[in-house]
Amino acid sequence: MTAATVTAPLAPARRLGVVAGLRHTLTLAWRSLVQIKHNPMELLDLSIQPVMFVLLFTYVFGTAIAGSPGEYLTFALPGIIVQNALFATMTTGFGLNNDLTKGMFDRLRALPIARWAPLAGRILADTVKQAWSVSLLIGVGAILGFRLGNGLLGLLGAFALLLVFSLAAAWISVLVGVLVSEPDKVQIFGFTVIFPLTFTSNVFVPTDRMPGWLQNWVEVNPVTILADALRGLLVGGPVVGPAAKAMIWAVVLAGVFAPLAVRALRRRV
């Protein structure tokens, strides 16, 4: 007679505390940032492209649109910062899809770490990259003649508002990164959606310079609202109204796309 083999039930996984989860998140965020040493082109994408936009639009279109490059820089730089921040959110979905397709995400999830740490670490690392890109644009703008109208307090407020909105918009990128099969498709989505969204706003051209039928859309475009809020904080002008509307948009984006992205991620892994 053959003795039956009885397999003992697996012990339930130990629940990790919030402190441990935060520690894992910081470790994985650092992992994403350290990768820049081996792939410096990632940092160049966040540095060279936005600086080129500032230089080209300021000195090629500045005189035609605003009368002088200096006046145009004062108007356009906050909007260019917004455009760059929205494009930078696509790196979250790109990196997440890269980890998913190469099996890295599964290996991380197999470790005794918090289940939400891999995704949170990716988002945190991309937030640090966002802060670097904004700082670079502000620095380049200052060299070209851009001056802050509300001092350090306005600058900090602009940083905070932009990062909060970017975190909310990043959930769209996370959802796309989970659903598509290749990292390049995340970038295709970014150019297909974000590019026309930013160019049909007042990022580069004042609303009153556009056709009447387009002005109606420009005024409700979330990119326009966020750009107006940053202009108010960095240069001067209305702040409370545009900032409140931008925060409402951030809440809506996070409330809609965060649950969808988390559900899609759970189904995939």
> For the ranges 15-24, 59-68, 95-104, 191-200, which has the lowest average pLDDT?
15-24
Give how far Cα 94 sits from Cα of 48, 53, 75, 85, 135, Å.
Answer: 19, 22, 31, 15, 23
> For the ranges 104-113, 135-144, 224-233, 258-267, which has the lowest average pLDDT?
104-113
In one letter, which amino acid is 146?
Answer: F
Residue 121 lies inside a defined structural domain of this protein = yes
**Greatest mean pLDDT range, 26-40, 72-86, 104-118:** 72-86
What is the DSSP secondary-structure string of 163-196? HHHHHHHHHHHHHHHHHSSSHHHHHHHHHHHHHH
Give how far Cα 237 sits from Cα of 96, 150, 227, 233, Å.
Answer: 38, 10, 12, 8
Residue 6 lies inside a defined structural domain of this protein = no
Residue 3 lies inside a defined structural domain of this protein = no
Residue 12 lies inside a defined structural domain of this protein = no
What is the DSSP secondary-structure string of 75-100? HHHHHHHHHHHHHHTHHHHHHHHHHH
Is residue 6 predicted with pLDDT exceeding 60? Answer: no
Q: Which has the closest alpha carbon to 232: 86, 84, 85, 74?
A: 74
Nearest-angstrom CA–CA distance, 194 and 86: 7
For residues 241-262, average pLDDT: 94
Share of the chain above pLDDT 90, in %: 34
- The tally of domains found in the chain comes to 1
Query: Could you tell me the two tokens for 124?
Result: 């945190």
In this structure, are residues 156 and 67 in contact, taking their beta carbons and an 8 Å threshold?
no
Residue 193 lies inside a defined structural domain of this protein = yes
Averaged pLDDT of the chain: 85
Reading phi first (left if > 0) and then psi (alpha if -120 to 50, else beta), residue 145 is in: left
CA angle 193, 41, 188 (to 5 degrees): 20
DSSP 59: I
Q: Which has the closest alpha carbon to 76: 110, 50, 114?
A: 50
Residue 14 lies inside a defined structural domain of this protein = no
Residue 256 lies inside a defined structural domain of this protein = yes
- Give helix 151-179 / helix 183-199 axis angle, nearest 10°: 130
Nearest-angstrom CA–CA distance, 45 and 129: 11
| Domain range enclosing 168 | 19-268
Residue 255 lies inside a defined structural domain of this protein = yes
